Structure 1
């Protein structure tokens, strides 16, 4: 990632991020499902980003972050930053994202299918996996 962020682990909300593995690459070298490996990494990493990281930066926040010696978390590429913003919103709100944010996502060059893939992958990762003690053995 193009920024440094403090990663805070929350043991109570452990999530298996292996559900968001990148899709298989076709023989042409283009991703089958619509995201590049770097974009999948941004989607996975957005799970650790807080909502304050996507708010507009004002003078007071810039001063406060400078005082604490932290930078403003933002990716250098605007298209990837838009993907990160949508991923952070999807991790926190699921499909309840405002239309303006979806419009920004689509204006950055992403497709509606990629939005559905993003939200579906995030929801799949958040879905609790069945506990081994409750899984019935096949007879």
Structure 2
């Protein structure tokens, strides 16, 4: 039995269509950054104030979980938001994520993986 794709009547058969974008993926290192971000709080994303730095140096408490590589730190920041807030990501963090060379498909993969797909796409559209 033949199948007629009415949505694209003049397109090539489904098996022969070229994919427009490569599948979203992360490296093993990036997945480990996403996993580690689960234990971080939203407050770890803020710059510590002068009093906080003074007390930290006095009592030997360092800054929380900052990564030295900017690309991985950007991924960690978005992952922390995803772990804590699901699809309700700040637009500034998404823009920073895209500026570092990640794609929107990777952002969607990150949030879907973290939330387990429990939250619908509508919430993603509202937050962006």
Q: Same fold (TM over 0.5)?
A: yes
Corresponding residue number in structure 2 for 1:6: none
Q: Is 1:98–2:90 an aligned residue pair?
A: yes
Are 1:114 and 2:100 matched, yes or no? no
The whole-number CA distance in structure 2 between the counterparts of 1:108 and 1:65 is 30
Unaligned runs of at least 5 residues, structure 1: 1-31, 128-139
Q: How far has the Cα of 1:87 moved from its partner?
A: 0.4
Q: Which has the higher contact order (CA 8 A, sep 6+)?
A: 1
> Greater Rg, structure 1 or structure 2?
2
- Residue 123 of structure 1 corresponds to 115
Query: Which TM-score applies when normalising by structure 1?
Result: 0.63
Superposition CA RMSD, Å: 1.9
1:49 aligns with 2:40: yes
Aligned residues: 96
What is the DSSP-based 3-state SS (H/G/I as helix, E as strand, rest coil) of the residue aligned with 1:71? coil
For 2:28, the equivalent position in structure 1 comes to: 37
Q: Which position in structure 2 is the counterpart of 1:135?
A: none
| Aligned match of 1:85 | 77
Deviations 1:77-101 (A, max 9, x none): 0110111010001000001111111
The whole-number CA distance in structure 2 between the counterparts of 1:105 and 1:68 is 34
Q: Deviation above 6 Å: which 4+ runs of structure 1?
A: none
Q: In structure 2, what is the Cα distance between the partners aligned to 1:95 and 1:53?
A: 19
| Structure 2: segments with no counterpart, 5+ residues | 1-22, 120-128
